[in-house]
Each structure stands twice: as structure tokens, then as C-alpha cells.
Amino acid sequence: MRRIVSVVTAGALGMMLLAASTQAQAPKTVSAGVYTAEQAKRGEAVYKEQCAACHGDNLEGSGPMPPLAGMDFLTNWQGKTLGDLYEKTQTTMPATAPGTLMPAQVADVLAFMLKSSKYPAGSTALEGKMEALLPIQIDAAK
């Protein structure tokens, strides 16, 4: 009887470890809630000050300035990572003074962009580091 219990226990433990490792390998996506509501609020203030003049009050873009929310944004960025978007924003924005936003400001603006595209907030703020954002894929909002 002990042998059967040990085999069953070992088998159950093995299944839990397999499930945990499979979950750990699944890519993290923005639909998982990767920013906080407070961070998005800070990002909105930075956006209004630094970005809205070119990208519009509603992140809709205009002319050569791309949209930063909605289906058009998703068409440009789906399948890429938040790290890609972070790097593009950090190095090229604002257009009048590229690279002048602080890393935390860029992360906050990204949080506001995600909120504006109807991605859910979570309990952990985005980090202002490209390396931390590279594993987070941009997927379709649910």
C-alpha cells in the first residue's frame, strides 16, 4: 500500500512540476495586466505634456504620426514586444527632443497607451528597462 501511495504521490508531483514549467515557458502578454492603473494615470499626464501635440489627444495619430492606441496601433505592433516599443519610444521620442524622456516616464506612457487600447491593469507596474519588457508580447486586446 505504501508503495502505491508513493508512486501516486510522485506521479502527482511530476505532473505539477510539468504544468509549472509549461506555464513558465508560455509568453507573457500585455493582456495579462502588466501595468498598474496608477502608472497609466501618471503616463496620461506625461502623454498630454510630451506626446499629444503630435499623436493627438486621443492617441489617434495624424498624417505621418502613427496612432498609439486602437486597431491601427495593434496592426503595427501586434507580435512585437513591449521592449521593442519601449526602445522605439525611448530613443526617438518626443520628436522635438528624442531620448529626453526618463525611463520611468516612457514606462508610464506605455502603461497609458495600453490602458487606452483597453488592456487590463494589473498589480505590478511596468519597469523602465527594455530588458524587463522584452519578454512581454503585444497581443490583441480581449
Q: Range with the lowest mean pLDDT among 8-17, 71-80, 87-96?
A: 8-17
pLDDT at 2: 53
Please state, in angstroms and rounded to a whole number, the distance separating the CA atoms of residues 102 and 140: 28
For 5-129, list the strands marked E by DSSP.
28-29
What is the rounded average pLDDT of the residues 84-111?
Answer: 97
What is the rounded average pLDDT of the residues 78-106?
Answer: 96
For 23-84, list the strands marked E by DSSP.
28-29
Q: What pTM did the predictor assign? A: 0.81
pLDDT at 3: 53
**Per-residue pLDDT reduced to its tens digit, 32-44:** 999 999 999 999 9
**Per-residue pLDDT reduced to its tens digit, 12-23:** 444 444 444 444
Please state, in angstroms and rounded to a whole number, the distance separating the CA atoms of residues 15 and 59: 46
Q: What is the CA radius of gyration of the chain?
A: 20
